[in-house]
Amino acid sequence: MRLADKVALITGAASGIGKETASLFAQEGAKIVAVDLNDYDGEKTVSEVNSAGGDAIYVNANVSKSSDCEHMVKAAEEKYGKLNVMFNNAGIMDSRDDNAQVTEEDVWDLTMAINLKGVFLGCKFGIPAMQRSGGGSIINTASFVGIMGAATPQVAYTASKGGVISLTRELAVIHARENIRVNALCPGPLRTELLMKFLDTEAKKQRRLVHIPMGRFGEAKEMAKAALFLASDESSYTTGAEFVVDGGITSAYVTPE
């Protein structure tokens, strides 16, 4: 098992990438701390993991709040004695997010609070726990748009993910000699509820698909497999990376006329 004897904390574990990752990590031997604000679906994730023979607990936390992030890390250490893997995956994509003229300040603030501040706070409290454990792997969910920009305007989301990439790079350099690796997972467009709610018309979907060489949206399960590589010792010489899993979109990206 690739994560035997590891303890993994996953935010945004109630659905999408987080849910699939919790299941996969558990299959690979990790003990799971599943974190979300959606108690019903978060508890469902944990129930499914445990029913399949895994070991998981659920923790309610708003990642934009310092006290909640401190609590989720404390819960991991109290239950399992350590923290080895932290997947800062929770995020939002507000349907009101648009160009700079249209996007309201409250949309910008909320997006930054969850997508970027939430990653910062996860690292703020997760890194000391990993120092106590002798090292570990931090995976921060960014996006290909943080590298390339987006064809469909979503300035708050794009800026937040660019911030995640920059934060990841700096933390990777700071903590490299402490056996703490920090990498940014950069998915391409995925067939998840989060993106499908944003791409709410066929025209919007096609505007994304036309740029993807593989001609399809990615799946959450594919991102979970990428996260598994970054969490495992197989990526022991990988830190500060933009781990792009995007169906080729960043290699073929062109701005539409």
Query: Which residues sit opposite 57 in a β-bridge?
Result: 33
Tokens representing residue 160 in the block: 């937040």
157 is catalytic: yes
Whether the CB-CB separation of 19 and 220 falls below 8 Å is answered with: yes
Whether the CB-CB separation of 74 and 128 falls below 8 Å is answered with: no
The two beta strands, 242-245 and 31-36, are unpaired
Phi (first) and psi of residue 165, to 5 degrees: -65, -45
The Cα–Cα gap between 19 and 205 comes to 24
The Cα–Cα gap between 193 and 209 comes to 16
Whether the CB-CB separation of 140 and 183 falls below 8 Å is answered with: yes
The secondary structure of the chain in percent helix, strand, coil, rounded to multiples of 5, reads 50, 15, 35
Whether the CB-CB separation of 122 and 172 falls below 8 Å is answered with: no
Any residues with CB less than 8 A from the CB of 211 and at least 6 apart, and which?
151, 249, 252, 253, 254
Choose the catalytic residue: 40, 157, 237, 253.
157
Residue found by looking up tokens 């080895």 in the block: 84
Whether the CB-CB separation of 42 and 36 falls below 8 Å is answered with: yes
Residues with active-site annotation: 157
